[in-house]
Amino acid sequence: MTLPPRSAQRQEDTWDIASVFPNSAAWETEYQSVQAELPAFKKFHGKLNGPTILAEVLDASFQIIVRVQKLYMYAELLMSVDASDEEAAALISRAATLDGQVSAAVAFIKPELLANGAEKLSQWASSDSRLAAYTHYFEDLLRVQAHVRSPEVEELLGALNDPFATTYGVVGSLTGAEMRFQPATSSTGEEYPVAQSTTVPLWSSTDRETRRTAWENYHDGYLAFKKTLANNLEGQIKQYVFLARAHGYRSALEARLAVDNIPVKVYHNVIETFRRNLPTWHRYWALRRRILGYQTLHTYDLYSPLTTKLPALPYTQAVDWIAEGLQPLGDEYVQILRRGSLQERWVDIYPNQGKRLGAFSSGCPGTHPFIFMSYDNSLKGMSTLAHELGHSMHSYLTWQTQPLVYSRYSMFVAETASNFHQALVRAHLLHTRPERDFQIGLLDEAMNNFHRYYFIMPLLARLELEMYERVERGEALTADVLNGLFADFLAEGYGSEVEVDAARDGITWATFSHLYANFYVFQYTTGIAAANTLARSILASQPHAVERYLAFLRTGNARYPLDVLQQAGVDLSTPEPIEATFAVLADYVERLEQLTSTPE
């Protein structure tokens, strides 16, 4: 298995990055333009005392913020498909610097705005058409007013965005460009390159020796840098703790959740509900061990296919099945999705040398909602595509509907649309493709997806809480501490059915750059719970369920995430949706038990 160089990819199989900037010279021109406009914000200092000037500065600030997002995004798109691209790395660094400069330049706005008082802001929003759109923005700022510092302090804290971005850049360069892995070896002696973009297919190999060596060599690559990785992550955590304290919050968790007006109990609900439902996972591990016929199940067996009788699934067929599954959302929705997938080149489809691991959706108002992935002609690849198209359709409809101030929806709702797509497409295929092996393969893919997002992610959330609490108590985070904690959490999650390799399983935390976005990983669990709840309502043809869901996609962050989800039909302030989704998981396990206990 040899990966092609980036230059060998057909243009139609890559994303249309030229639609963002035609070349690096155009990027440079925009960079210089943004930088040249920053001093103009100084003329507003101390003058935000009337609706006209306030509307002017707010409009200008959100416009320039989106322009920096576009600069940063372009560089990230370049880097993600070729980690060795030094020019892209330089653009990312410069974009981060500019982002810090912009944050500092507009930092005076919030404290000066709040100095006008709630009554005056309300009057201005009612009387000025340009400020009317900022009503929720004002309400949200007033809610956290006690945590907004003086203009001078906010400017200083905003300027920290640039140096604080270094830790994420370090882990990206180390794991994406400099880390090397020994090749995997099959039971018959063939060697396969282990790289960020090849791990999933290697771990899914039908050959156990290929899986074992690929999994061990990949994690050994991280173990070789465990001290650097732990120290770098500790630095990131200390930054978030510092910022939380600088803004007067009791903890970094409280500070992060306050951004979205989410009670801290919601985070604890995830961890507690997950631990209560571990018997469902233990039941599945036992079933997987029985199906595979192993006396001992290892972590490298958890992605081994439960059936090998599945046809190749070309990209265009995957798009067709996704479109069919999402037809309940209406023709217009499906047509936009198909156009983006097949004509407008939203998707960078296939793996190549230097392409990073994983998949994501990225963009900003004025660009396509791009999708990064490494499609491999499998049900897994189709599911990943459906997931990322959920993100992209969420972004597309938000950008089409909301003003710039509300165009970046909360991360708390971000994983809902993506997992909703998977739930709807999965339900469609379970209903329309009754063949035994296809059903097994589809459920196997579903369980693999749940394993990553409804098992690993809540365990990482538990680790993340422990890490922050230790740092806040003044304790050190060493690689051995982190590895030991996560190995213990995994042992509890796997129970007696999976043998844990303490060192290699323990370093799993380092393979998730998600931890550099503070308190993000728990939102996969809440997102899956919300997605499955909303999907059930649509599949049951509940009145207005489709309209409520589409309204949710168009809301952006014009409302608080818990409120907009509740209006769509799910209440994540309680553990109930998480519990209900464990019932979905249990149903999948039962289906697999029935399918694999009867003869073909």
Both tokens of residue 57? 């500065």
Looking at residues 283-298, what average pLDDT do you find? 96
468-463-362 Cα angle (round to 5) = 85
Task: Identify the band that residue 367 occupies on the pLDDT scale cut at 50, 70 and 90.
Answer: very high
- Burial class of residue 22 in the structure, from the number of CB atoms within 10 Å of its CB (0-12 exposed, 13-18 middle, 19+ buried): exposed
Cα Rg, the chain, nearest whole Å: 24
Q: Which residues contact 564 (CB under 8 A, 6 or more apart)?
A: 413, 552, 555
Looking at residues 104-110, what average pLDDT do you find? 93
Q: Is 239 helix (H, G, I), strand (E, B) or coil?
A: helix
H-helix or E-strand spanning residue 499: strand 498-499
Looking at residues 351-367, what average pLDDT do you find? 91
Amino acid 260 reads D
516 close to 168: Cβ distance less than 8 angstroms? yes
Q: Is the pTM of this model over 0.85?
A: yes
Q: Which residues contact 512 (CB under 8 A, 6 or more apart)?
A: 456, 460, 521
Looking at residues 236-250, what average pLDDT do you find? 96
> Residue 191's beta-bridge partner residues?
185
Beta-strand runs (E) in 299-397: 347-348, 360-362, 370-372
Percent of the chain with pLDDT over 90: 90
Q: What pLDDT, on a 0 to 100 scale, did the predictor assign at position 480?
A: 97
List, as one string, the DSSP characters of 173-206: HIIIII---PPEE-TTS-EE---TTTHHHHHT-S
Q: What pLDDT, on a 0 to 100 scale, did the predictor assign at position 598?
A: 66
413 close to 570: Cβ distance less than 8 angstroms? no
Both tokens of residue 508? 């799993």
Q: Which residue in 388, 415, 445, 464 is the catalytic one?
A: 388
385 close to 394: Cβ distance less than 8 angstroms? no
Percent of the chain with pLDDT over 70: 99
Each residue's pLDDT tens digit, 27-65? 999 999 999 999 999 999 999 999 999 999 999 999 999
**Nearest to 449, CA basis, from 537, 532, 511:** 532
Q: What is the DSSP letter of 115?
A: T
Q: Is 389 helix (H, G, I), strand (E, B) or coil?
A: helix
Active-site residue, 388 included = yes
Looking at residues 410-424, what average pLDDT do you find? 95
Alpha-carbon torsion, ordered 80, 85, 90, 94, to 10 deg: -30
Looking at residues 364-390, what average pLDDT do you find? 96
Looking at residues 394-401, what average pLDDT do you find? 98
Q: What pLDDT, on a 0 to 100 scale, did the predictor assign at position 159?
A: 83
Each residue's pLDDT tens digit, 301-320? 999 999 989 989 999 999 99
Q: Is 441 helix (H, G, I), strand (E, B) or coil?
A: helix
H-helix or E-strand spanning residue 297: strand 297-298
Angle between helices 457-472 and 264-276 (to 10 degrees): 130
Looking at residues 264-271, what average pLDDT do you find? 97
Q: What pLDDT, on a 0 to 100 scale, did the predictor assign at position 357?
A: 77
Question: What distance in Å separates the CA atoms of residue 13 and residue 341, rounded to the nearest whole number?
Answer: 10
396 close to 369: Cβ distance less than 8 angstroms? yes
Question: What distance in Å separates the CA atoms of residue 183 and residue 599, rounded to the nearest whole number?
Answer: 38
Q: What pLDDT, on a 0 to 100 scale, did the predictor assign at position 599?
A: 59
Q: Which residues contact 413 (CB under 8 A, 6 or more apart)?
A: 527, 530, 552, 561, 564, 565
Each residue's pLDDT tens digit, 142-170? 999 999 899 899 888 888 888 888 898 89
Task: Identify the band that residue 267 occupies on the pLDDT scale cut at 50, 70 and 90.
Answer: very high
SS3 content of the chain, % helix, strand, coil (to 5): 70, 5, 25
Integer angstrom CA distances of residue 225 from 92, 432, 479: 24, 48, 9
Question: What distance in Å separates the CA atoms of residue 445 and residue 447, rounded to the nearest whole number?
Answer: 5
Question: What distance in Å separates the CA atoms of residue 529 and residue 551, rounded to the nearest whole number?
Answer: 19
- Burial class of residue 178 in the structure, from the number of CB atoms within 10 Å of its CB (0-12 exposed, 13-18 middle, 19+ buried): exposed
Q: Does residue 201 surpass a pLDDT of 70?
A: yes
Q: Is 210 helix (H, G, I), strand (E, B) or coil?
A: helix
Question: What distance in Å separates the CA atoms of residue 563 and residue 542, rounded to the nearest whole number?
Answer: 20
Both tokens of residue 402? 């909301």
Question: What distance in Å separates the CA atoms of residue 431 and residue 448, rounded to the nearest whole number?
Answer: 20
Residue 418: count of CB within 10 angstroms of its CB: 26
Please state, rounded to an integer, the average pLDDT across all residues of the chain.
95
Q: What pLDDT, on a 0 to 100 scale, did the predictor assign at position 196?
A: 84
Q: Is 362 helix (H, G, I), strand (E, B) or coil?
A: strand
Alpha-carbon torsion, ordered 64, 70, 76, 82, to 10 deg: -140
Each residue's pLDDT tens digit, 493-514? 999 999 999 999 999 999 999 9
Pairing of strands 184-185, 191-192: antiparallel
